Amino acid sequence: MAESIGINVTQSNEPLPAGVKLPIYMDNHATTPLDPRVLEAMMPYLTGIFGNAASRNHSFGWEAESAVEKAREQIAKLIGATAKEIIFTSGATESNNLAIKGIAEMYRERGNHIITQVTEHKAVLDTCKRLEKSGYRITYLPAQADGLIDIEDLKRAMDDQTILVSIMYANNEIGVIQPIREIGKLCHEKGVLFHTDAVQAVGKIPVNVIADNIDVLSLSGHKIYGPKGVGALYVRRRNPRVQISEQINGGGHERGMRSGTLNVPGIVGLGAACEICQNEMEAEAAREIELRDYLRAKLEKALDYTQVNGNMDHHLPGNLNMSFVYVEGESLLMGINDIAVSSGSACTSATLEPSYVLKALGLGDDVAHSSIRFGLGRFNTKAEVDYVSDKLIDVVSKLRELSPLYEMVKEGIDLSKIEWAAH
Ligand SMILES: *Cc1c(COP(=O)(O)O)cnc(C)c1O
C-alpha cells in the first residue's frame, strides 16, 4: 500500500485547476452519467404519464404506447433498422441472453454449434457456458495480439452444424473494433446467423445493421448516457427473418419475444439517448479522440516502459488501455484514488485475477495488473485529462523509485536472465 511504503501519493497541497472537481469520473465503459436532456425527456413518464403501454382501451395506455413507439423509432434510426425490429429488454445482459439462448433453442434442429471469442463480455461467455451444459458445442476463437480476431480462424471454425456467430462490435476493456462487416458477410454467405454485442459501439461510432450484415444486435441504455436497467435487442425481420424463442414467458409482449410490462420511462430515456447520440456522435467522437491522443502522448512523453493495449487503428474514440510496466497495479490504483478508472485486474472471489481480456492478448500477469483502462466520455474535459495525466505521471514515477525491478532494468540488467529465488 502506498501509505505503508512511506510515500504520500494521495495528498496534494496544490489548488485544483479551474473546472476540475474531485473525484474525476473516467470510467465511461462501465457506465455513463445520465445526460440531463435524457432525464428531462423521462420526467413526465416518471410522474403524470404512468399508463401501461399494453392497456389498449384507454388514453393512459395509448399515451404510454405512443411514447414507446417513438423510442423504438429513435433507436432503430441510430442503427439503420426499422422500429418493428427493436425488442425492449432490461439491459444488454438480458439482450445477449435472449439472442444467444433464443436462437440456440429455435434453430436446434438445424445444428448445435455456436462460435464466439475469448474476449467477449461475461454476458456472452457465461451464456455460452450454460448452453455447453445442455449439449451445444461452442468454439471460442482466440484473439490476436492486437485484440482482433482472425477472419481465417472464423472460416475454419464454421461447419455444417454452425447456427450462430456471436462477436462483439467493440471491446469494453481494450476498445478494439472487430471487422464486423466482413464477419457478417461471411456469416450470410454460409447461412449462419450473426449476433453482435454492440453495447460499446452504438452511439459512439457509426453502426448500420444492413451495411454491417448484422442479424441480431444488443445495446444498453446506461452506456450511452441513458438510464440503467433498460436495453434493446435488434432482431432482423427480412433477409433473413430471424426467429427467437422467448426466454421470459408471460403475456406475449414485444412480438412474443420478451414478455413483461414495459419500462416506459426507461424506454423513453433510451430513445432520447439514442437521438442525442445520432445528432452529436461525430463531433463527440472527434473531441474524445483528441483528448485520448493527448492523454496518451503526455503519458508516453513523461514515462518510459509504457505500452498501449489493443489495435489503435480500429479503436473506440474514448478508450485508452495502457500498461505501466514495473509498477504494482494495486499501489497504482491506491495512488490515484481520486480518479475513477478501471485496472487490469478483476476481483474474482478473494483474489485479484489479471483481466482475461489482457491475458488473451498475451500479456503477462504483472503487465496486466499494471494496466489502466481510461474511459473518456461526453462530460470529460481537457482540464480533467491534464489532472489525471499529471497525477499518474507523479504516482508512477514515485512507485518506480521504489521498484527494484525498474532499478535493475534501468541499470541494463536483463531480467529474463535472472534466477529468482523460489517463493
Ligand atoms: C456493459 C456491457 C454489457 C452489459 O450491459 P448491461 O446493460 O449492464 O446489462 C454487455 N456487454 C458489454 C460489451 C458491455 O460493456
| CATH number of the domain within which 263 lies | 3.40.640.10
Task: Please report the pLDDT score of residue 13 as a whole number.
Answer: 62
Known binding residues for [2Fe-2S] cluster are 347
Residue 269 maps to a domain: yes
Domain assignment present for residue 334? The answer is yes
DSSP state of 315: B
| 298 and 270 part of one domain | no
Cβ-in-10-Å burial (0-12, 13-18, 19+) of 260 comes to middle
**Domain interval for residue 340:** 24-33+281-408
> Quick check: 237 and 84 in contact, CB under 8 A?
yes
Mutate to test the pocket of ligand 1, among 31, 32, 121 (most ligand atoms within 8 A of CB): 121
Tell me: do 353 and 205 sit in the same domain: no
The pLDDT of residue 348 is 60
pLDDT the model gives residue 347: 65
pLDDT for res 5: 42
243 and 313 belong to one structural domain: no
Residue 421 is predicted with a pLDDT of 62
User: Which atom of ligand 1 lies at the shortest distance from residue 123's CA?
Assistant: 10
Domain boundary among 224, 245, 277: 277
Phi, then psi, of 293 in degrees rounded to 5: -65, -35
Give the nearest ligand 1 atom to 229 CA. Answer: 7
User: How many structural domains are present in the chain?
Assistant: 2
With b for 16 or more beta-carbon neighbours within 10 A and e for fewer, the 208-245 pattern comes to ebeebbbbbbbbbbbbbbbbbebbbbbbbeeeeebebe
State which of 29, 32, 34, 93 you would mutate to test the pocket of ligand 1, scoring each by most atoms of that ligand within 8 A of its C-beta: 93
Q: What is the pLDDT of residue 420?
A: 63
> What number does the ligand 1 atom closest to the CA of 230 have?
7
342 & 380 share domain: yes
Q: Annotated binding site, which residues? A: 92-93, 172, 200, 220-222, 261, 347
Assigned C-alpha cell, 224: 450511452
Indicate whether 267 and 206 sit together in one domain.
Answer: yes
Q: Which of the listed residues 277, 298, 333 is the one where a domain comes to its end?
A: 277
Q: For position 11, what pLDDT does the model report?
A: 53
Mean pLDDT by 10 residues, the chain (423 residues): 42 74 97 98 96 93 97 98 98 98 98 98 98 97 98 98 98 98 98 98 98 98 98 97 96 91 98 98 98 98 97 98 92 93 76 91 94 97 97 96 88 76 55
Q: Please, where are the H alpha helices in 172-228? A: 180-190
Helical packing angle, 122-133 and 92-106, nearest 10°: 30
**Is residue 296 in a domain?**
yes
**Which ligand 1 atom is nearest residue 95's CA?**
9
Ligand 1 centre distance from Cα of residue 266 (Å): 16
pLDDT of residue 109: 96
Give the distance (Å) from ligand 1 centre to CA of residue 99: 14
On whether residue 250 sits in a domain, the answer given is yes
On whether both 260 and 285 belong to a single domain, the answer is no
Do 319 and 373 meet the contact criterion of CB atoms below 8 Å apart? yes
For residue 96, report the distance from its CA to the centre of ligand 1, in Å.
9
Supply the CATH number for residue 361's domain.
Answer: 3.90.1150.10
Q: Give catalytic residue positions.
A: 347
* C-alpha cell recorded at residue 33: 452519467
Q: Which of residues 253, 277, 301 is at a domain's end? A: 277
- Looking at residue 329, its pLDDT comes to 83
Asked if residue 354 and residue 288 are part of one domain, the reply reads yes
Tell me if 414 is assigned to some domain: no
Q: Is 3 within a domain?
A: no
Is there a single domain that holds both residue 213 and residue 247? yes
Distance (Å) from CA 372 to ligand 1 centroid: 19
* DSSP string of 97-142, one letter each residue: HHHHHHHHHHTTTT--EEEEETTS-HHHHHHHHHHHHTT-EEEEEP
Residues with CB under 6 A from ligand 1: 29, 91-93, 121, 123, 168, 172, 197, 199-200, 220, 223, 231
pTM: 0.94
Ligand 1 centroid – CA 210 distance (Å) = 23
Identify whether residues 258 and 294 lie together within a single domain. Answer: no
Identify whether 362 is part of a domain.
yes
Domain co-membership, 148 together with 177 = yes
Atom 5 of ligand 1, residue of closest alpha carbon: 92
pLDDT at residue 410, rounded to an integer = 87
Q: Nearest 5°: phi and psi at 89?
A: -135, -175
- The answer to whether residues 218 and 295 belong to one domain is no
Contact (Cβ atoms closer than 8 angstroms) between residue 182 and residue 169: no
Q: Is 14 a domain residue?
A: no
Which residue's CA lies nearest to atom 15 of ligand 1?
172
Q: 248 and 361: one domain?
A: no
